[in-house]
């Protein structure tokens, strides 16, 4: 009895009201520190092609031009820039692969 009920609860947590899966997605960190334009954008594009829909890519880079190039790349690909942060000498982009 417990196993049967647990399976139903697990299934209910993995699916939203419309029946779409909401299972946890993966997160990949891409360390591009030290690379200069255009390599951060090119390597980000390549990494995005390897992700499944809904996965997150965290890009860490030191090139200030990436603050222009990566958002422009995402406008082209349709992926979502969820967050970007700037620390002295470090730019971090959190990207969600489009569905």
Active-site amino acid positions: 37
Whole-number Å distance between alpha carbons of 76 and 69: 11
Write out 67-87 in H/E/C secondary structure.
HHHHHHHHHHHCCEEEEEEEE
**Residue 1, CB half-sphere, CA atoms under 13 Å: how many?**
0
Count how many residues are written for the chain: 99
Q: What is the DSSP letter of 32?
A: E
């Amino acid at each position: 009895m417990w196993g049967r009920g647990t399976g139903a609860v697990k299934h209910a947590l993995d699916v939203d009201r419309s029946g779409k899966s909401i299972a946890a997605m993966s997160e990949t960190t891409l360390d591009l520190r030290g690379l200069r334009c255009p390599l951060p954008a090119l390597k980000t594009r390549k990494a995005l092609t390897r992700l499944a829909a809904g996965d997150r890519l965290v890009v860490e880079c030191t090139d200030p031009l990436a603050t222009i190039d990566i958002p422009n790349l995402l406008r082209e690909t349709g992926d979502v820039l969820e967050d970007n942060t700037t620390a002295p000498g470090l730019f971090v982009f959190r990207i969600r692969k489009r569905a």
